């Protein structure tokens, strides 16, 4: 988080009581469905992102305030994001070459819409509207970081990982035609 | 790694990727070989920005309207140098961790990560509390030999840059002003630490 994007001060965060309650419920559902992962919402920051990480033997998923309370981020987008971040911890198979504790992005995505969504549905009855979630994320990403999109498009063309580019990632998630990844992931995500 | 959206348009990932590559299973052995000739991580006369330069652990990518490289060197040279937490210098903690990794062959690799802290009013520090003793650093090593260094960041880096430290005036010197850097000055280049080019067919590194 050295170069994290923070929502500008002139963009109002969605700090309503109902939003706070919705986040509490979501985090509660994820804690119940995926034991062993600590879910946190960092309300003190305007950073627009979410992150999975391991520290001191514990596994964390954190929603940063600029994302959790972003006016463009819907409940579906939050659910998909929490599933994706949980997938970094729970998906089996391919890991980041640089951090073997975490599954790579494409695997985390596949887990999110498959095993992760199914586990969440079994535990809490929650169903995620994937189209709505990805359309929301599309809008958020387009609004914050045009450079990232261009950069990742170039990288994905060069090295062929669908998860490195948001447009191909979105398209693969919709079509469910994402190739199964093998070997360690060398991409920097 | 593990972020939903590429942080800083991917700059953070590039920095972490190069740091992780500099201390991966293969390169850690090379760095240990260099340390046998020059104690890179003694922490008194060596500087983090110089070490990052010599290790090739700095971003070279282009990021829209963002001098990621200059900001990274400014961070190492100024911000991290002055950072304190728990009464301990963050730089000292980093040197102690790297030194530990050089001495303990049970450490097979070092993995770096950065996480936004919940308190914007503290300095950058290494989780949990800027460890410096061997006993505390040993707790960062898991059963597979991965030493995990997590930097807690109070906020994003300021838009202030330092130049790449390849100038004569930037060389590390002892108390008498003698240059203490020994060849190889450039242990790795960023290119050495780049992800391998993958075969489209097998998706594994090309031979």
Q: What is the mean pLDDT of chain B?
A: 91
- CA of B153, closest CA in chain A: separation in Å? 7
Residue B185, chain A, CB below 8 Å: the answer is no
pLDDT at B47 over 80: yes
- A140: closest chain B residue by CA: B5
My answer on whether omega of the bond before A72 falls inside 30° of 0, hence cis, is no
Q: Where are the domains of chain A?
A: 17-175
Work out the end-to-end distance of chain A between its first and last CA atoms, rounded to an integer number of angstroms.
13
Partner-chain contact A4 B64, CB within 8 Å: no
Partner-chain contact B8 A85, CB within 8 Å: no
- Distance, in Å, from the CA atom of B115 to the CA atom of A157, rounded to the nearest integer, reads 29
- CA of A123, closest CA in chain B: separation in Å? 24
Two tokens, residue A87: 């997938």
What is the pLDDT, as a whole number, of residue B54? 97
- What mean pLDDT comes out for the span B119-141? 95
ipTM surpasses 0.85: no
What is the pLDDT, as a whole number, of residue A156? 45
Partner-chain contact B2 A88, CB within 8 Å: yes
Residue B1, chain A, CB below 8 Å: the answer is yes
- The pTM of the full predicted model, rounded to 2 decimals, is 0.86
Within chain B, residue ranges assigned H as helices are 11-22, 25-35, 48-55, 68-74, 80-82, 90-103, 134-138
Per-residue pLDDT of B62-100, as tens digits, reads: 887 789 999 999 999 999 999 999 999 999 999 999 999
- CA of A1, closest CA in chain B: separation in Å? 5
Partner-chain contact B195 A181, CB within 8 Å: no
Q: Which residues of B touch A141 (CB under 8 A)?
A: 5
Rounded to 5°, angle at Cα A121 from A117 and A123: 120
Chosen from B13, B76, B116 to mutate, greatest number of chain A CBs within 10 A: B116
Per-residue pLDDT of B148-184, as tens digits, reads: 999 999 988 888 999 999 877 889 999 999 999 999 9
Q: Where are the domains of chain B?
A: 8-163
Residue A162, chain B, CB below 8 Å: the answer is no
Rounded to 5°, angle at Cα B93 from B88 and B99: 145
Question: Of chain A residues 105-134, which have a CB less than 8 A from chain B?
Answer: none
Residue A57, chain B, CB below 8 Å: the answer is yes
Residue B204, chain A, CB below 8 Å: the answer is yes
Task: Return the bridge partners of A38, or none.
Answer: A60
Of B2, B7, B17, the CB nearest to A4: B7
Q: Which residues of A touch B155 (CB under 8 A)?
A: 6
What is the pLDDT, as a whole number, of residue A154? 47
| Percentage of the residues of chain B whose pLDDT score is greater than 70 | 93
Which of residues B203 and B143 earns the better pLDDT score?
A: B143
Partner-chain contact A159 B198, CB within 8 Å: yes
Mean pLDDT by 10 residues, chain A (189 residues): 82 92 97 97 91 90 95 96 96 83 88 95 96 91 62 48 74 72 62
- What mean pLDDT comes out for the span B46-61? 95
Q: Which residues of B touch A50 (CB under 8 A)?
A: 3-4
> What are the DSSP calls for B40-95, one per residue?
TT-SSS--HHHHHHHHT-S--S-BTTB-HHHHHHHIIIIIHHH-EETTEEHHHHHH
What is the pLDDT, as a whole number, of residue A166? 77
What is the pLDDT, as a whole number, of residue A143? 82
């Amino acid at each position: 988080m050295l170069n994290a994007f923070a929502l500008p001060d002139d963009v109002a965060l969605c700090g309503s009581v109902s939003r706070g309650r919705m986040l509490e419920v979501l985090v509660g559902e994820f804690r119940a469905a995926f034991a062993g992962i600590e879910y946190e919402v960092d309300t003190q920051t305007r950073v627009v992102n979410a992150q999975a990480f391991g520290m001191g033997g514990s596994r964390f998923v954190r929603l940063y305030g600029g994302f959790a309370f972003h006016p463009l981020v819907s409940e579906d987008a939050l659910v998909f994001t929490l599933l994706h971040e949980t997938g970094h911890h729970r998906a089996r198979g391919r890991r980041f070459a640089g951090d073997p504790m975490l599954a790579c992005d494409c695997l985390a995505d596949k887990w999110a819409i498959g095993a992760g969504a199914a586990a969440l549905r079994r535990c809490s009855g929650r169903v995620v509207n994937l189209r709505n979630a990805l359309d929301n994320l599309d809008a958020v990403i387009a609004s914050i970081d045009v450079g990232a999109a261009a950069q990742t498009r170039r990288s994905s063309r060069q090295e062929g990982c669908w998860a490195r580019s948001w447009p191909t990632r979105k398209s693969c998630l919709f079509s469910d035609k994402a190739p199964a990844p093998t070997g360690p992931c060398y991409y920097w995500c | 790694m593990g972020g939903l959206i590429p942080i800083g348009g991917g700059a953070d990932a590039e920095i972490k990727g190069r740091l992780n590559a500099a201390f991966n299973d293969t390169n850690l052995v090379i760095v240990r070989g260099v340390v046998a000739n020059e104690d890179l991580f003694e922490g008194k006369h060596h500087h983090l920005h110089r070490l990052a330069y010599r290790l090739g652990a700095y971003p070279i990518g282009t990021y829209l309207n963002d001098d990621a490289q200059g900001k990274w060197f400014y961070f190492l040279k100024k911000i991290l140098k002055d950072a304190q937490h728990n009464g301990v210098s963050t730089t000292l903690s980093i040197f102690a961790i790297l030194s530990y990794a050089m001495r303990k062959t049970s450490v097979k690799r070092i993995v770096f990560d950065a996480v936004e802290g919940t308190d914007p009013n503290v300095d950058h520090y290494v989780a949990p509390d800027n460890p410096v003793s061997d006993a505390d650093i040993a707790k960062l090593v898991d059963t597979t030999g991965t030493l995990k260094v997590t930097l807690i960041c109070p906020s994003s880096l300021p838009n202030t840059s330092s130049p790449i430290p390849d100038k004569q005036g930037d060389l590390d010197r002892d108390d008498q002003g003698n240059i203490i850097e020994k060849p190889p000055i450039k242990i790795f280049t960023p290119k050495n630490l780049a992800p391998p080019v993958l075969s489209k067919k097998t998706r594994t590194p090309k031979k």
